[in-house]
Amino acid sequence: MVRAPCCEKMGLKRGPWTQEEDQILITYINLYGHDNWRALPKQAGLLRCGKSCRLRWTNYLRPDIKRGNFSREEEDTIIELHEILGNRWSAIAARLPGRTDNEIKNVWHTHLKKRLKQNQASATTPVAKQPHSLKMQINDHLENIETNPITNHPNPVKLESPQHSSSDISSVTTAATTMEADDAWDNYNFLDVDENFLCDVLTDHDSGAMTSGFPAADDHVENVYGYSSSQPDGNGMDFWYHLFTTAGGLPELPDF
DNA sequence: AATGTTGACAACCGCCTTGTT
DNA sequence: GAACAAGGCGGTTGTCAACAT
């Protein structure tokens, strides 16, 4: 595959944006939207490449961006999510309304890494060890699956209703009562669910994708585990319901 | 006051993924 | 299925202001 150049550098401006350029971009997007970033600068009369316009808009000019310093709560959230998600800045940003991945990345490198080091040096209840740590909750959750013979069920939960909503899942607090082996799931090993995968699930859950069949996580299941999450009854919710119910319910999520 | 250093953050680069033809 | 275009993402760099010497 031949990569197209990121931008045609000849004659195009780089570096910091001027107020005038910002205004042109804002006005254009407000009028016509941004269906085609590559064509946008030409149509708007900007001497920038489409990529530069997109970044400027998404990282700075978007009306829903929250400017200003990060609150302590936001910083704590970033630290927790980083424990789980690693450098997946966009995934972290998805949980912080009004904050961009770029902004979070910068805050991480300039503030939070330093703060973590200080915490570790002082050895006083570092954030990673706080009781509400999501990572700890997930670990507890997985340990529970391994150690609890009641919830460590090799077979999926068979739900009484074929239709499950996101509220079904979020309201699960105990193991399902009815379990039934299903050939389609016989080889499924729940313990194979790794942390990253679970994080994907949680991310999807939080972003509302729960109700649309978890497309990204569905693919993950199919690729990694060889199962279509639509099995056995064609409803993608089953896999997730199974995931949560066999584990005894979702850990309580922190209030992001 | 001049110079050097550091921190913050905007912007860019290049790779990867996805959608289209 | 291959080729390509475009968007998304994470890593990195460039710039500038604040602070220290």
Please give the pLDDT value at position A10.
56
> Residue A11: which pLDDT band, with cuts at 50, 70 and 90?
low
Q: Which pTM was predicted?
A: 0.57
From the alpha carbon of A85, which nucleotide's C1' atom is closest? Answer: C10
Residue range A44-68: average pLDDT?
87
Please give the pLDDT value at position A148.
42
pLDDT beyond 80 at A5: no
Instruction: Give A109-154 pLDDT, tens digit per residue.
Output: 888 877 777 766 665 544 443 434 444 544 444 444 344 433 333 3
Structure tokens at A218: 């569905």
Q: Which of residues 225-244 of A touch strand B (CB under 7 A)?
A: none
Residue A10, CB, less than 7 Å from strand C? no
User: Which segment, A84-98, A153-167, A194-208, is predicted with the most confidence on average?
Assistant: A84-98
pLDDT beyond 60 at A104: yes
Nearest residue to A164 via CA among A243, A89, A94, A59: A243
- Cis bond before residue A232 (omega within 30° of 0): yes
Helix (H) or strand (E) holding A101: helix A101-107
Distance separating alpha carbons of residues A38 and A42, to the nearest angstrom: 8
Distance separating alpha carbons of residues A26 and A39, to the nearest angstrom: 15
3-state helix, strand, coil in chain A (%, to 5): 55, 0, 45
Distance separating alpha carbons of residues A54 and A249, to the nearest angstrom: 40
The answer to whether A176 and A159 have CB atoms below 8 angstroms apart is yes
What's the CA A186/C1' B9 distance, rounded, in angstroms? Answer: 52
Instruction: Give A221-250 pLDDT, tens digit per residue.
Output: 444 444 444 433 333 334 444 444 444 443
What is the three-class DSSP state of A179?
A: strand
Please give the pLDDT value at position A181.
29
Residue A6, CB, less than 7 Å from strand B? yes
What's the CA A92/C1' B6 distance, rounded, in angstroms? Answer: 27
Please give the pLDDT value at position A73.
86
From the alpha carbon of A104, which nucleotide's C1' atom is closest? Answer: B9
DSSP A176: -
pLDDT beyond 70 at A197: no
Q: CA triplet A255, A81, A57: central angle to 5 degrees?
A: 95
From the alpha carbon of A51, which nucleotide's C1' atom is closest? Answer: C7
Contacts of A12 (CB under 8 A, 6+ apart): A47, A48, A49, A52
Protein residue minimizing CA–C1' distance to C13: A15
Q: Which of residues 55-114 of A touch strand B (CB under 7 A)?
A: 55-56, 59-60, 69, 102-103, 105-107, 109-111, 114
A224 or A200, higher pLDDT? A200
What's the CA A17/C1' B3 distance, rounded, in angstroms? Answer: 29
From the alpha carbon of A87, which nucleotide's C1' atom is closest? Answer: C10
From the alpha carbon of A109, which nucleotide's C1' atom is closest? Answer: B8
The answer to whether A75 and A112 have CB atoms below 8 angstroms apart is yes
Residue range A63-92: average pLDDT?
86
